[in-house]
Amino acid sequence: MEDEVEMVNKVQALVKCGESGASNDSTSNVESDSGSKKRKIMKERSVAWRHFSKFTDDEGVKKAKCKYCAEEYVANTKNSGTSNLLSYLLKCLNNPHKPETSQTKLAFQPKGQTGDVSLIPWKFDQEACRRALARMIIIDEQPFISVEKDGFRDFVRALQPLFHIPSRTTMTRDCFEIYHDEKLALKSIFKESKQRICFLADTWTSIQRINYMCVTAHYIDKNWNLH
């Protein structure tokens, strides 16, 4: 349910489509065959159904067909909701309401601390944002669950609604990928330069009485920069 709400926030442009002809009522009265009783039929609440058509295939499976490209998806909303449909709307090439995520824009970039700015080309990149988020987790020593906190999610939605916030499991995997990349880079540096390395060990005990040890390596590269 939480993922579906997040996806709805990303397709705000799609929500506006067809709103002028939509009714504010969530139910409608339908007269039965006998004409003596009326029953209420719930209207579809998800914005996805403004862009998909429901049908049942020959095997009795409920499916949804995209109105723009005829792509078919399983539509068991009771079990999985409509987040998969909303996610596809952002990728459908024929969707006239699709946000232009790859369009290059101009952005202001500060020049140091002088207050001057310069114009640079910029476009949204999901993978680059995910990697930057993983680096933030590592550098600031934040717990992986930080990405699932309500305050962080609200901030990201306000900053860039198109960014799909990863789960803590995905964030853990991204951080380990960065670790392996940095490990290979260090191996390459030490193999080529062969400089001396100074090791510093630090030990401490947590409030749960668990002992920890951290080993830090310091070295000077060929450009005389201390690492």
Mean pLDDT of 133-137: 95
> Nearest Cα to 104, choosing from 120, 122, 125?
122
DSSP, collapsed to helix, strand or coil, labels residue 53 as strand
Least confident segment among 72-76, 134-138, 180-184? 72-76
Q: Could you tell me the pTM of the whole model?
A: 0.49
Give, in order, the Cα–Cα distances in Å from 146 to each of 7, 42, 155, 173: 19, 38, 12, 15
Give pLDDT, residue 55: 87
Mean pLDDT of 7-19: 48
Q: Which helix (H) or strand (E) covers residue 10, if one does?
A: helix 2-10
pLDDT per position as a tens digit, 146-170:
999 999 999 988 888 888 888 999 9
2 pLDDT more than 50: no
Is 90 exceeded by the pLDDT of residue 24? no
Give the residue extent of every domain in the chain.
Answer: 1-18+42-99
Q: Is the pLDDT of residue 16 over 90?
A: no
Cα 58 from Cα 47, distance rounded (Å): 26
Mean predicted confidence (pLDDT) in 117-122: 65
Has residue 71 got a pLDDT over 70?
Answer: yes
- For residue 173, the model assigns a pLDDT of 93
Residue 210 has pLDDT above 80, yes or no: yes
